[in-house]
Amino acid sequence: MIKVVKIGGNVIDNEVALERFVADFAALEGEKVLVHGGGKLATRLAEKLEIPTTMIDGRRVTDRETLDVVTMVYAGLVNKRVVAMLQASGCNAIGLSGADAGAIRATRRKAKPIDYGFVGDIAVEGVNAEFIQNLTKMGVVPVFCSIMHDGEGTLLNCNADSVASAVAVALAQVEDTELLFCFEKAGVLRDVDDPESVIAEIRPQSYKTLLADGVVNKGMIPKIDGAFRALESGVKVVTIKHSADLNSNCGTKIML
């Protein structure tokens, strides 16, 4: 079974957490793909360059100048830093954007009702699963940032969770696939202030209740929505867990 692992930006920002995760990921047996977010480095660089950062509902508006910044940070500094750390841990990784070898193509999001600028959405058909699988079969681990392309020369900033889900679904068409979302919490929590309140599993009916009660909200909603779509599209297992628990049977399993 091939594993698609997404690592959150808050872990990218934490040197100690990132080092532990990289060591654990390198030790993960079998074929695997890593997708990473960007963390806060892009915001800090934009501030230094005096480029304003605009967020709407927690999502970054990516104008032309901001696109340059996130490309430099996500596809450059962060991606190559993670790849270098993996190489040092004995994991033969290759850093990629969606544009490299046409691996993942996205479509620019429509300007209405909200114009997010150069932000893209990914369809499963836009993922070159054969190319990714060829790399993993050779023992090479693809490490994708969240910068994609539209096939017409334009780069697009995409949500890293969506990238991971699309890659997992595309690979699921050719082999059994597991999708893991790793971030700074132990899973989906019933009480955000209680790290021990991990919900062991979420199914469609219980998810409705969690939404209605406000237990699941904000950024966790698109993550879980994407998890259900992935399962419905052939992914075998989806788990949301702490980055330090990558190789343990912890976290929240999303199940149909």
Q: Identify the pLDDT of residue 56.
A: 83
User: How high is the pLDDT of residue 218?
Assistant: 81
Q: What is the pLDDT of residue 223?
A: 87
User: Which structural domain, as residue segments, surrounds residue 112?
Assistant: 2-254
What is the CATH number for 117?
A: 3.40.1160.10
Q: Which residues of 132-144 are buried (b: 16+ CB within 10 A; e: fewer)?
A: bbebbeeeebbbb
Gap between the Cα atoms of 160 and 141, Å rounded: 17
pLDDT given at position 55: 85
The total domain count for the chain is 1
State how far the Cα of 29 lies from the Cα of 246, in Å rounded to an integer: 12
Q: Are 9 and 37 in contact (CB under 8 A)?
A: yes
In SS3 terms, 71-94 reads as HHHHHHHHHHHHHHHHHHCCCCEE
Q: How far apart are CA 63 and CA 83, in angstroms?
A: 28
pLDDT tens digits, one per residue of 84-136: 999 999 999 999 999 999 999 999 999 989 999 999 999 999 999 999 999 99
Q: What is the pLDDT of residue 217?
A: 87
* Residue in 74, 63, 64 with CA at minimum distance from that of residue 148: 74
Helix (H, G, I), strand (E, B), or coil: what is residue 197? Answer: coil
Which pLDDT score is estimated for 219?
A: 79
How many other β-carbons are positioned within 10 Å of the β-carbon of residue 76?
A: 15
pTM of the model as a whole: 0.95
Is 193 in contact with 247 (CB distance < 8 Å)? no
Residues of the chain short of pLDDT 70, as ranges, are: 58
Secondary structure of 94-151 as H, E, C letters: EEECCCHHHCEECEECCCCCCCCECEEECCHHHECHHHHHHHHHCCCEEEECCEEECC
CA distances from 246 to 82, 143, 204, 241 (A): 16, 16, 24, 7
Rounded CA separation 44/182 (Å) = 23
